[in-house]
């Protein structure tokens, strides 16, 4: 079955012969560049080939008319993973007709691009919403939590995967951890930095790693993705102690003040790097999916006018996370002295929590007097907790009537609910 190179369709298994008799075999993909053919090689990598260099394209096998594994059509032989598609690069592909981005919204589309994970498990695809992560907020975290509860309490389901945009994935990961509480099986958040139809897409490996993590005994909300720039293995990271630290690298997510929980390879090998984790169990899960969104995050900068505190108070905000200096200081001299304004808003009921803008390390307000002064005023210092985690924790706590008083909120904020505090900080956390 020979055709000219104009006839092959995306999905076909082809051999492409380029100038110099260079042969490449693989699955033809949609390409957004009209001058380039995109090929997923048999080894899993994608390459782009200039049309002008192509001498011949042989269609080895037409696109499989796959039997889509819908909810009702599970093999019954493999463990079941509930797969929540929520948007982001991992759930998108370029639309060659418009040059824009299309979401992958059902199992068929997912299968077309990522057939491998359907070999590992019976995948039940669910799509509660499709959003770039910058458009998600507390309401989405609550919605997702409630859906995940069903999967957690469905004894048929072995584990859960959530595919998500990268930019604010660490917010969702920490929010889900607080809202879901003690887990009985893995909840795995994953991502990709390059869309599935790019040559260097990382999604294929991240999904395989995620599937094996979802089948593992690690009953925690975790973030799974490339451990380094090679395509060799992934890290399983604690969801509330990780952060996106690079705009484009495949290993953009880094543990902060924490170590990875485990390494996982795309062939299913898994090496634990920590002992104390919550194990798979048969308990029923009762989620606590609520969020109070009248809270704000402020990154302090030199010379900043403290009127911003009053602005948030007047707007009815209940709590602030302030990213202060490394030890936990803000401006405490001169005309923009924050002390009087902090005193005033705290007196009027604002809850003020401090994190560090260095990201790594732990606040230590006791070294110098300004820190001690802030604590006297009622600023609560959050040790080594990330600002992002502090934000989701505060929003979750304030949505509880019983915890809304300043004393109760403080007590809950300082409670190590989901290992968001690490009492044994190692210098090694920052390489």
Is position 96 an interface residue for a second copy (rule: CB under 8 A)? no
Edge-first strand listing for the sheet containing 22-29: 46-50, 36-41, 22-29, 13-18, 54-61
Is position 76 an interface residue for a second copy (rule: CB under 8 A)? no
Is position 259 an interface residue for a second copy (rule: CB under 8 A)? no
Paired tokens of 384: 């080594």
- 247 catalytically annotated: no
| Least spacing, CB of residue 307 vs a second copy, in Å | 7
Question: What does the alpha-carbon distance between residue 381 and residue 19 come to, in Å, rounded to a whole number?
Answer: 64
Q: Report 211-250 residues binding a second copy (CB under 8 A).
A: 229, 244-249
Instruction: Please identify, using beta-carbon distances, which residue of 283 and 307 lies nearer to a second copy.
Output: 307
Q: Which of 69, 122, 158, 166 is catalytic?
A: 166
- The answer to whether the beta carbons of residues 265 and 226 sit under 8 Å apart is no
- The answer to whether the beta carbons of residues 141 and 169 sit under 8 Å apart is no
Question: What does the alpha-carbon distance between residue 108 and residue 142 come to, in Å, rounded to a whole number?
Answer: 27
Determine which helix (DSSP H) or strand (DSSP E) holds 28, and give its type and residue range.
strand 22-29
- 244 catalytically annotated: yes
For the chain, state the CA radius of gyration.
Answer: 24
Residue 409 neighbours by CB distance under 10 Å: 20
- 89 catalytically annotated: yes
Is position 134 an interface residue for a second copy (rule: CB under 8 A)? yes
User: Which residue of 252, 309, 354, 399 would you call a contact of a second copy, by CB under 8 A?
Assistant: 252
Q: Contacts with a second copy: how many residues (CB under 8 A)? A: 66
Burial of 251 (0-12, 13-18, 19+ CB in 10 A): middle
Is position 380 an interface residue for a second copy (rule: CB under 8 A)? no
Question: What does the alpha-carbon distance between residue 335 and residue 306 come to, in Å, rounded to a whole number?
Answer: 10
Is position 97 an interface residue for a second copy (rule: CB under 8 A)? no
Instruction: Please identify, using beta-carbon distances, which residue of 109 and 167 lies nearer to a second copy.
Output: 167
| Least spacing, CB of residue 20 vs a second copy, in Å | 30
Cα 64 to Cα 13, 16, 310, distances in angstroms:
9, 19, 62
User: Which residue of 42, 135, 200, 416 would you call a contact of a second copy, by CB under 8 A?
Assistant: 135
Is position 326 an interface residue for a second copy (rule: CB under 8 A)? yes
Paired tokens of 200: 């260097």
Determine which helix (DSSP H) or strand (DSSP E) holds 412, and give its type and residue range.
helix 406-414
Is position 316 an interface residue for a second copy (rule: CB under 8 A)? no
User: Which residue of 315, 401, 423, 424 would you call a contact of a second copy, by CB under 8 A?
Assistant: 315
Q: Which of 122, 167, 197, 202 is catalytic?
A: 167
Torsion of the alpha carbons at 138, 159, 244 and 164, rounded to the nearest 10: -60
Is position 330 an interface residue for a second copy (rule: CB under 8 A)? yes
| Least spacing, CB of residue 343 vs a second copy, in Å | 17
β-strand partners of 226: 234
| Least spacing, CB of residue 104 vs a second copy, in Å | 15
- The answer to whether the beta carbons of residues 190 and 164 sit under 8 Å apart is yes
Is position 373 an interface residue for a second copy (rule: CB under 8 A)? no
User: Which residue of 323, 345, 380, 382 would you call a contact of a second copy, by CB under 8 A?
Assistant: 323
- 167 catalytically annotated: yes
In the three-class reduction of DSSP (H, G, I as helix; E, B as strand; rest coil), residue 35 is classed as coil
Is position 391 an interface residue for a second copy (rule: CB under 8 A)? yes
Is position 369 an interface residue for a second copy (rule: CB under 8 A)? yes
Residues found near a second copy in the complex (CB under 8 A)? 100-101, 131-138, 166-168, 171, 229, 244-249, 252, 254, 293, 296-305, 307-308, 311, 315, 323-327, 329-334, 336, 356, 358-364, 368-370, 388, 391, 427, 430-431
Q: Annotated catalytic sites, by residue?
A: 89, 166-167, 244
């Amino acid at each position: 079955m020979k055709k000219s190179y104009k006839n092959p369709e995306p999905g076909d298994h082809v051999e492409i012969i380029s100038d110099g008799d260079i042969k490449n075999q693989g699955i033809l993909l949609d390409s957004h560049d009209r001058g380039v053919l995109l090929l997923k090689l048999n080894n899993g990598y994608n390459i782009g080939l200039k049309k002008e260099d192509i001498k011949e394209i042989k269609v080895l096998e037409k696109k499989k008319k796959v039997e889509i594994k819908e909810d009702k059509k599970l093999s019954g032989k493999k463990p079941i993973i509930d797969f929540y598609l929520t948007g982001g690069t991992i759930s998108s592909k370029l639309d060659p007709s418009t040059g824009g981005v299309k979401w992958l919204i059902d199992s068929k589309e997912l299968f077309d691009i990522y057939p491998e994970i359907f070999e590992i498990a019976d995948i039940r695809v669910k799509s509660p919403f499709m959003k770039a992560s910058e458009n998600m907020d507390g309401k989405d975290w609550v919605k997702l939590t409630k859906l995940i509860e069903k999967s957690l309490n469905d004894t048929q389901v072995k584990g859960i995967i959530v595919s998500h945009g990268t930019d604010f994935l660490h917010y969702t990961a920490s929010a889900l951890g607080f809202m879901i509480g003690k887990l009985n099986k893995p909840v795995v958040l994953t991502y990709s930095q390059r869309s599935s139809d790019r040559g260097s897409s990382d999604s294929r490996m991240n999904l395989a790693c995620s599937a094996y993590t979802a089948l593992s005994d690690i009953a925690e909300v975790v973030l799974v993705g490339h451990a380094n720039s090679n395509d060799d293995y992934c890290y399983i990271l604690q969801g509330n102690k990780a952060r996106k630290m690079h705009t484009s690298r495949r290993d953009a997510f880094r543990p902060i003040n924490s170590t990875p929980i485990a390494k996982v390879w795309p062939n299913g090998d898994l090496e634990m790097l920590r002992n104390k984790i919550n194990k798979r169990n048969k308990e029923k899960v009762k989620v606590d999916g609520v969020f109070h969104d009248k809270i704000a995050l402020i990154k302090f900068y030199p010379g900043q006018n403290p009127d911003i505190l009053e602005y948030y108070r007047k707007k009815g905000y209940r709590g602030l996370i302030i990213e202060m200096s490394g030890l936990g200081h803000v401006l405490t001299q001169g005309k923009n002295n924050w002390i009087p304004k902090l005193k005033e808003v705290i007196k009027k009921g604002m809850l003020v929590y401090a994190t560090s803008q260095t990201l790594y390390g732990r606040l230590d307000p006791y070294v110098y007097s300004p820190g001690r002064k802030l604590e006297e005023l009622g600023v609560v210092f959050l040790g080594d907790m990330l600002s992002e985690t502090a934000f989701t924790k505060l929003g979750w706590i304030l949505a509880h009537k019983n915890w809304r008083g300043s004393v109760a909120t403080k007590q809950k904020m300082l409670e190590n609910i989901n290992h968001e505090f690490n009492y044994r900080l190692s210098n090694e956390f920052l390489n």
